[in-house]
Chains A and B, each alone.
Chain A
Amino acid sequence: MKILIVDDSRAMRMIVRRTLRQAGYGQHDIEEAANGREGYEQIQSTKPDLVLCDWNMPEMTGIELLQKLKDEGHGVKFGFVTSESTDEMRARANEAGGLILIAKPFTPDSFKGALAPHIS
C-alpha cells in the first residue's frame, strides 16, 4: 500500500512517518509532499492508496485539496492529521469525503485506532 503524507512541516512529516512505523504500518511505501499543491501533483503522478494530510498549510490547504479531488471524482482514501479537531471541522471533513481525522498531538495507538479500518 502506498501512503502519502502531506504537511508543510518537515518535522511533522518525520513524526507521522515514525508513528506509522510504531503503529505497525512500517511495511508500507511512504511518500511525502510539503503542501496541498505538491500533494495534488503527487497524487496524480504516483497514485497513492491513502493520503494523510495536514489541514492548515500554505499554497493549498488540506480541505482545498480534498475538495479538488472530490470535484474531479478522485477516489483516493483521504484523512486529516491536524492540530484542530472541532466538531465543525470534523463535519466539514466528512462532508468533503474525508475518512479519518487524527488530532495532534497523537500517539501510535491513536493512529492504529484511526487507520485500522482503512489499511489492509
Chain B
Amino acid sequence: MGMDLDLDFRSPAEEACAVMLGWDATHLAAPPATDAEAPSFRGEVSIASSEGEADLVVAIDCPRETAVAVARALLGADEDEELPPEDIQDAFGELVNVIGGNIKGLIVGAVRLSIPSVQLIRSWRQLDADLPGHPVFQMWLEHEGHHLRISVLATTRKPKNKGATP
C-alpha cells in the first residue's frame, strides 16, 4: 500500500474533540455498552497513496444522540434547539474531515483525502456488521455519556467521493 501505518492515531481525534467541541474526552480501554438497536451515524473519509483505489478509510461511528451533541457543540446551538438533519450530517462530516485530514498528515505516502460522507444507519448492530475494511487502528472516546468510535481501516475499494489533495 506504500503507507507507513506504524502510528498512533489517538492525538488527532483527541485534539479535534478538545478544540472543536470543547470536549475533555476520555479514552476508553474497552468498548462501552452500546444499544444495538439505536440509530447510529457513520462518517468516513478515504485516504489514498495514489490515484484510484483508496488504501485506508477513517470511519467515525456513534449513536445518533452523540452526532446531535457534536453538531450542537460545533454550531453553538442550545441544548433544546432542534437541528435539521442536514445540519447534523454537515457538522458531523466536518469533524470526520478534520480528524481524517490530520490522520492523513501523519501517514508517509498518503497523497489524497476524499470529501467526507455521512450516513444515518438504522441500528448500531447493522453499522457494526458493515465495517468498510479491516481495522488497523481503533479507539473509543467518551464525553459525558457520549461515545465516538474512531477506526482506521485498510481497504481496496474505490473512494466514495474523490478528493483533490494535495
Contact = CB atoms under 8 A, between A and B. Distances in A.
Contacts of B90: 9-11
Contacts of B75: 11, 14
A58 B161 contact: yes
Interface in A1-34: 8-12, 14-15, 18
Determine chain B's interface SS by DSSP, over half rule.
helix
Interface in B3-20: 15-16, 19-20
Nearest to A60: B164
Contact of B164 (A10, A15, A64, A88): A64
A90 B91 CA distance: 26
Contact of A56 (B15, B102, B164): B164
Interface stretch (A71-79, A100-108, A112-120): A100-108
Contacts of A56: 97, 101, 113, 115, 163-165
Contacts of A44: none
A3 to B, nearest CB: 19
Range of interface residues on chain A?
A: 20 to 34
Contacts, number: 75
Contacts of B37: none
B104 interface: yes
Interface residues of B, number: 28
Interface in A45-91: 55-58, 61, 63-64, 82-86, 88-89
Interface in B35-91: 71, 74-76, 87, 90-91
A17 B98 CA distance: 17
Contacts of B161: 58
Nearest to A106: B19
A65 to B, nearest CB: 11
A84 B115 contact: no
Interface of A: 8-12, 14-15, 18, 55-58, 61, 63-64, 82-86, 88-89, 92, 103-107
19 contacts: A9-B91, A11-B71, A11-B74, A11-B75, A11-B87, A11-B94, A14-B76, A56-B163, A58-B115, A61-B165, A83-B97, A83-B113, A85-B105, A86-B105, A86-B166, A88-B166, A104-B20, A104-B97, A104-B102
Given A58-B161, A83-B102, A105-B98, 4 more contacts: A12-B94, A61-B164, A63-B164, A107-B19
